[in-house]
Structure 1
Amino acid sequence: MANSLQDQLLKSGLVDEQQLKQAKSKKRKQKRAGGGRAPADAERRAAAEQAAAEKRRRDQELNREREADRQRKAELVALWHLVRDNRLSRDGGDVAYNFTDGSALKRLYVTADQQKAIAGGELAIVRHDDFYEIVPAMVAERTEQTDPAILVVWNKPGEADPDDPYAGFEVPDDLMW
Structure 2
Amino acid sequence: MADSLRDQLLKSGIVKQVREEKRQTQPQGGKGAPPKGGGGRHGGKSQQQGRPSAPAAKKPSGEMDLAMAYAIRAQTEATERKRAEQEAQEQARIKREQKQKIQQLLQGKALNKNDVEQVRHFEYGGKIRRVHVDAEQLAAINTGELGVVQIGGRYLIVSREIATQVREIDAHQLALLVDPNASGVGDDGVPDDLIW
Distance 1:105 1:66, change over 3 A: closer
Q: Paired residue for 1:142, among 169, 174, 191?
A: 169
Q: Which runs of 5+ in 1 are unaligned?
A: 1-37, 162-166
Displacement of 1:115 = 5.3
Distance 1:41 1:71, change over 3 A: same
Displacement of 1:129 = 1.5
Aligned to 2:79: 60
SS at match of 2:165: helix
Distance 1:111 1:69, change over 3 A: farther
**1:90–1:111: 8 Å Cα contact kept in structure 2?**
no
Matching residue's letter, 2:154: F
Identity of aligned residues (%): 17
Q: Which runs of 5+ in 2 are unaligned?
A: 1-51
Displacement of 1:45 = 6.7
Q: Which has the larger radius of gyration?
A: 1
Aligned to 2:132: 108
- C-alpha separation between the residues in 1 aligned to 2:94 and 2:140? 27
Displacement of 1:121 = 4.2
Count of residues in Structure 1 that have an aligned counterpart in Structure 2:
128
Distance 1:69 1:46, change over 3 A: same
The reply on whether 1:89 has 2:103 as its aligned counterpart is: no
**2:141–2:147: 8 Å Cα contact kept in structure 1?**
yes
More helix per residue: 1 or 2? 1
- Compute the TM-score of the two structures, normalised by the length of structure 1: 0.53
The reply on whether 1:72 has 2:91 as its aligned counterpart is: yes
Distance 1:123 1:69, change over 3 A: farther
